[in-house]
Structure 1
Amino acid sequence: MSRNVKLKDIKFPCHIKNDILKREHLEFSSIKIIPNMQYIKVEFHSVFKFNLNSIRRELDIYLFTKENENIDEYPFQLFIRQNITGKIDFKLNAHMTKNAGDIIKFNNMVSLWSEEGLRRLRIHDINCEVLTIVPDKIDVDKIDYVETLKKIMDKVELGTDEIPYINSDELINRIGESKLYLSDRVYCESFISDVRKELIKEQTNISILLKREDSKIIFSRRIGVLPFLVDLDFLNVKPCNKEGKAVLKKILKREIPLILEKFIFDSTPEDYFKELISIFEKEKIPFSAALCKLFTAKGDRPTGKCFMEISKVSEGYWNKHQNITFIIKYADDDINKSIQLNDLIVSEDFINAIPLMQLNENKYLENLAFACYLNKDYKLSLDYCKRAISNNILSITHFTKGLVYLAEQNFEEAYKSYMNGIYLIKNDIWYPVIRNNINIGINNGQIINDDNVKSLINTIELYRRRNHAKLIKNCFCGSKKRYYQCHGKEYIL
């Protein structure tokens, strides 16, 4: 017999509170929540963990909202959806968990719920109890193969938590048929060996998070497992120093984690979250489609950012696996500053952009070096130049160094800086920009147009007109040594 329970003081996370809780109470029937009025369509996803008091028949669900915790500690999923008629579907599942130990725990909870009923269910977010309900009994199919496999693994003394999630009907049937032989240790060891051989050897676990401006997690969704390790060749990065080459090598070997970030445009972060979920549910090659969406996003006014965190590969008893998490974040103060900074750089207002660029110096070293030169802060400009060149020997700040030294009338160092840049960087990148920048410096009074400056401009034109490859065969200093055996020694990759 079904019964309805009226609830008061229901607390939902604030991002949906204003949308669906414009009423005094909700009616609860079975595991569906029926609101009374103002029906607004909404969806809510979250991963969670739980504690179960089987004696008191109380269940506490904890939503993943803590920034300092690992999403892998929240292996279960909660879904709330309100349709246009006002009905809210409330579902819990363990479909996307990575191991059967979690399924055992989940099924124990569901068994208690369906056979004896719960006296109380509490759902918590980071700061408060979100929802308290007292549900009727529900019917859930039990997954017997998990318990059987647990007994087999106990027989061969393997940890329960390492049991992989198995979705092959053939394997499940074999486990079911093995019940007659549980007492035979040799059989159990052979069976575990067979299962291990048949399981997918490489897995990539995909999750998607949506965060508020203050980085609090709004929605969290486990997408599932790709039956392979994601190929990282899509990075297509060409390092410009030895350290960069070493880091890229470790990344491609999946020995260290990697974070990529891109602005998102047009759609709201919440819509972007749903679009990513749809890609992984519907596309035949979902990861490639998700990458395409991430890297082709263009626009003038970002609505937020999407970060893709790729973990290093871990190797367990059963298989190798890595985690990839898409983190979508609403436009916060940092993102708004990035938008403001982008506008200043596009308009070439470099001096006013200096304070904003200094908030993320390593990203804007080249622009900072040039901006500080324009601002006549030559010491700081040189410091940024040296740091930029240290990160990338092909940095255009070789020429910014030259501008600074010309302004300081240190022609010897200016000449070396310009020639290093000319030898290292393709001429279609630096010409005619470096010549024009010198002329601008002359016109605004930063550079004195003496014979040394005129000679340097003539040299720039000479290297532009003649065959670049032949001209840089030997070092510019006249030593008759090859450039990389002379002044270019420190720039060999």
Structure 2
Amino acid sequence: MGENLETNPDSKGRFKIVSTYSQNQLKNTDFFTLYLASAISGQEVNFAKDIEIRDIEFDEHELDMKSQNIVSFKMIPNMDYKPSEIDTFFNLEIDEVMNVMTMSLSITDKDKLEKYNYCINLRFTEGGELKLKFNYNNTTNINKIMKFNRMMNIWSIKGFRRFYIKDNEGNILLSTVMGKNDESKNENIYFDNLIGVFKNSREVIESIPLCISSESIADIESWDLKSIKINNEELLLVDRIKEKLSQNVSIVRMFLINQENKYIISVVHLGCLPYLLNMVSFLMKTSNKKKNNEVEQKLKNDDVTLTFEKYIFSSYPTDIYKVIKTMFYSTNKPLEKIINYVLNDKGEKAIGKIHIDLSEKYSSYWHNKIQDVDIKIYICEEELCKINELNTLQQEKKYVQAIPLMENFQHRSFVSKENLAFAYCLNKDFDKSIELCKIVIKDNYKSVCHFTKGLALVLKGELDKAYISYMYGLHLIDKSIWYPHIKDNLLNEIQKNGTEKGDMVKRILENIELFNIRNTNGRHKRCFCGSDRKFKDCHEKKLLETIKNDLF
């Protein structure tokens, strides 16, 4: 029995190695298996039995060794390792009879992360070593934490005969021996005392607190469990812990995600903070005070979710992930500093994207209000290419060509619905343009969409309605925004579409010139309807009433 391995005949040197093993040898000790093991692990392999090397040629020098056997042969892999680091969640199973531990990593199981209770950091060094760090930070369940501590204790006492790391589909990623490790022993007196009190308490307590001060931990470590049990002080001590806990807690996780294939590259439980994040102070204020108040009021409600989105410019997403991770553990008020860092990251060309998701608030046995804060950093090269293309088309005023991209991103803050409505009008999709104009005006009744809507109505032949739309725009919007563009657009589109320049169109053009000459605010001028009242007291009121009653 044996294996042959031949090099590419076109390479400079070629060789053929034959290895044999007898029936009483271990399986999987043939040359090719050992060759792969050496290449993957980066470890040297020494051979000293039954090795024959034939037909060796290197750099055009021939050596006749057909009649010779090699007594010793060393294979040294030539590998360059790129240091890398991955965070993810995992579950573990321990077979104490077979002394085997299995870690199942979440990897791509993005929709079921809540079922993974523990966190792991895998770090690959330049020397090809794989270093692991793990903890139970992704759970507060007492039974899950006890299971983790049991694993650590077995590891410290005798190690594991076999240690498997699997992905979420059950495929083995790593199989090795995990030897005894004295440093892994769990000596957490705080946790043992806490569990001892919970087990004897008359209340059913299934979780530990999320945030607990070092002062409280020192207090718990000093407890005498026997004395507590004799005096029935369990509930008294539980209440004492509750009194010292923060009632409001933020649970912070961070994700690094490839958006194109929805693959979670890394996910880490950063930690818990003894307060709720106040996003109001970070939000950009609108000019509408009433709307600001509505937004702030909604954010104070417990049943509101919020997603804050921002493109990143200065660093690639993988580097931003590392920066935020370091920032969280090295600063006071880390969430606030992270958000400020993201807000202040500006540039011309985006190279990534970040979301900060705030969940609805909920409660637990220990805390009154808990909020999940998920920081999601996206690698989204395909999206960014499309955004850069869209920006170029808009800068060059190629609005019609930009329609598919604007439609794709129309719910994103960087896409102007006003531009999209205008593009529809240029593309002769007048009804679509008018409907989108109505939506925009409902949200901002001083929008330039009054002019776009008027233009679409002119080209449709609905001139009376068009006149009213133009007059709304002329009264409500500062002339520096619309002159001379609306005049040029009207004249150009009339000519392109072969529309007659009738009396009503001439009247619209005359009013454009008239309002351009005026220096005062059009809202204070007499209304265009001839009512002798100011516009703000006449048709502006009617417009607002129509919008309010959803009749626009």
TM-score by length of 2: 0.75
Q: In the superposition, relative to structure 1, how do residues 332 and 413 fare at CA in structure 2: closer, same or farther (>3 Å)? A: same
Match of 1:223 among 270, 276, 279: 270
Task: Provide the C-alpha distance between the structure 1 equivalents of 2:512 and 2:81, rounded to a whole number of angstroms.
Answer: 71
How many Å apart are 1:352 and its aligned residue? 0.9
Query: Is residue 2:311 matched to residue 1:263?
Result: yes
How many Å apart are 1:218 and its aligned residue? 0.8
Query: Is residue 2:67 matched to residue 1:24?
Result: no
Q: Deviations over 1:112-142 (max 9, x none)?
A: 2222322222222244322222200123232
Identify the residue that residue 199 of structure 1 maps to in structure 2: 245
Task: Provide the C-alpha distance between the structure 1 equivalents of 2:548 and 2:478, rounded to a whole number of angstroms.
Answer: 16
Identify the residue that residue 6 of structure 2 maps to in structure 1: none
Match of 2:378 among 325, 329, 334: 329
Q: In the superposition, relative to structure 1, how do residues 487 and 62 fare at CA in structure 2: closer, same or farther (>3 Å)? A: same
Task: Provide the C-alpha distance between the structure 2 equivalents of 1:126 and 1:399, rounded to a whole number of angstroms.
Answer: 56
Query: Is residue 2:107 matched to residue 1:91?
Result: no
What code does the residue aligned with 1:217 have? I
Task: Provide the C-alpha distance between the structure 2 equivalents of 1:423 and 1:203, rounded to a whole number of angstroms.
Answer: 50
Q: In the superposition, relative to structure 1, how do residues 192 and 482 fare at CA in structure 2: closer, same or farther (>3 Å)? A: farther
Identify the residue that residue 67 of structure 2 maps to in structure 1: none
Q: Equivalent residues in 2 for 1:251-330 (5 A)?
A: 251-319=299-367, 320-330=369-379
How many Å apart are 1:378 and its aligned residue? 1.0
Query: Is residue 2:122 matched to residue 1:80?
Result: yes
Q: Deviations over 1:289-338 (max 9, x none)?
A: 32233223334443332222111211222122111112122225344323
How many Å apart are 1:214 and its aligned residue? 0.5
Query: Is residue 2:218 matched to residue 1:173?
Result: yes
Query: Is residue 2:55 matched to residue 1:55?
Result: no
Task: Provide the C-alpha distance between the structure 2 equivalents of 1:23 and 1:308, rounded to a whole number of angstroms.
Answer: 42
Identify the residue that residue 393 of structure 2 maps to in structure 1: 344
Q: Alignment length, in residue pairs?
A: 468
Identify the residue that residue 64 of structure 2 maps to in structure 1: none
Task: Provide the C-alpha distance between the structure 1 equivalents of 2:343 and 2:473, rounded to a whole number of angstroms.
Answer: 31
Gaps of 5+ in 1: 1-6, 9-20, 29-34
What code does the residue aligned with 1:304 have? G
CA contact (8 A) 2:41 2:128 kept: no
Query: Is residue 2:507 matched to residue 1:455?
Result: yes
CA contact (8 A) 2:437 2:449 kept: yes
Task: Provide the C-alpha distance between the structure 2 equivalents of 1:348 and 1:185, rounded to a whole number of angstroms.
Answer: 81
Question: Which stretch shows the higher mean deviation, 155-164 or 395-404?
Answer: 155-164
Identify the residue that residue 378 of structure 1 maps to in structure 2: 430
How many Å apart are 1:152 and its aligned residue? 2.1
The alignment partner of 1:487 has SS state of helix
CA contact (8 A) 1:207 1:224 kept: yes
Task: Provide the C-alpha distance between the structure 2 equivalents of 1:229 and 1:40, rounded to a whole number of angstroms.
Answer: 39
Task: Provide the C-alpha distance between the structure 1 equivalents of 2:94 and 2:408, rounded to a whole number of angstroms.
Answer: 46
Identify the residue that residue 491 of structure 1 maps to in structure 2: 547
Q: Equivalent residues in 2 for 1:359-370 (5 A)?
A: 359-363=408-412, 364=415, 365-370=417-422
CA contact (8 A) 1:100 1:146 kept: no
Task: Provide the C-alpha distance between the structure 2 equivalents of 1:22 and 1:407, rounded to a whole number of angstroms.
Answer: 75
Q: Deviations over 1:387-419 (max 9, x none)?
A: 333444444322211110122232221122233
Identify the residue that residue 238 of structure 1 maps to in structure 2: 286
The alignment partner of 2:327 has SS state of helix
Match of 1:145 among 163, 187, 190: 190
How many Å apart are 1:375 and its aligned residue? 0.9
The alignment partner of 2:175 has SS state of strand
Identify the residue that residue 4 of structure 1 maps to in structure 2: none
Identify the residue that residue 188 of structure 1 maps to in structure 2: 234
What code does the residue aligned with 2:521 have? H
Q: In the superposition, relative to structure 1, how do residues 72 and 423 fare at CA in structure 2: closer, same or farther (>3 Å)? A: farther
CA contact (8 A) 1:483 1:489 kept: no
Q: In the superposition, relative to structure 1, how do residues 24 and 369 fare at CA in structure 2: closer, same or farther (>3 Å)? A: same
CA contact (8 A) 1:49 1:75 kept: yes
What code does the residue aligned with 1:172 have? I
The alignment partner of 1:23 has SS state of helix
The alignment partner of 1:486 has SS state of helix
Q: In the superposition, relative to structure 1, how do residues 282 and 476 fare at CA in structure 2: closer, same or farther (>3 Å)? A: farther
CA contact (8 A) 2:399 2:419 kept: yes
Query: Is residue 2:491 matched to residue 1:434?
Result: no
CA contact (8 A) 1:36 1:86 kept: no
Q: In the superposition, relative to structure 1, how do residues 404 and 103 fare at CA in structure 2: closer, same or farther (>3 Å)? A: same
How many Å apart are 1:341 and its aligned residue? 2.1
How many Å apart are 1:199 and its aligned residue? 0.8
Question: Which stretch shows the higher mean deviation, 195-204 or 456-465?
Answer: 456-465
CA contact (8 A) 1:181 1:188 kept: no
Match of 2:298 among 240, 246, 250: 250
CA contact (8 A) 1:214 1:332 kept: no
Q: Deviations over 1:137-183 (max 9, x none)?
A: 12323213223222322333444433214553322232231413432
Question: Which stretch shows the higher mean deviation, 395-404 or 413-422?
Answer: 413-422
Identify the residue that residue 358 of structure 1 maps to in structure 2: 407
Query: Is residue 2:85 matched to residue 1:43?
Result: yes
Question: Which stretch shows the higher mean deviation, 483-492 or 197-206?
Answer: 483-492
Q: In the superposition, relative to structure 1, how do residues 99 and 428 fare at CA in structure 2: closer, same or farther (>3 Å)? A: farther
The RMSD of aligned alpha carbons is 3.3
Q: Deviations over 1:421-466 (max 9, x none)?
A: 4455555544454344334434545654443233223334444524
Q: Equivalent residues in 2 for 1:98-137 (5 A)?
A: 102-127=144-169, 128-137=171-180
Task: Provide the C-alpha distance between the structure 1 equivalents of 2:204 and 2:360, rounded to a whole number of angstroms.
Answer: 23
The alignment partner of 2:365 has SS state of coil
Q: Which has the higher contact order (CA 8 A, sep 6+)?
A: 1
CA contact (8 A) 1:402 1:415 kept: yes
How many Å apart are 1:370 and its aligned residue? 0.9
Task: Provide the C-alpha distance between the structure 1 equivalents of 2:289 and 2:500, rounded to a whole number of angstroms.
Answer: 35
Task: Provide the C-alpha distance between the structure 2 equivalents of 1:317 and 1:106, rounded to a whole number of angstroms.
Answer: 22
Q: In the superposition, relative to structure 1, how do residues 423 and 223 fare at CA in structure 2: closer, same or farther (>3 Å)? A: farther
CA contact (8 A) 2:152 2:186 kept: no
What code does the residue aligned with 1:357 have? M
Q: In the superposition, relative to structure 1, how do residues 54 and 340 fare at CA in structure 2: closer, same or farther (>3 Å)? A: farther
Provide the identity percentage.
28
CA contact (8 A) 1:48 1:61 kept: yes
The alignment partner of 1:182 has SS state of helix
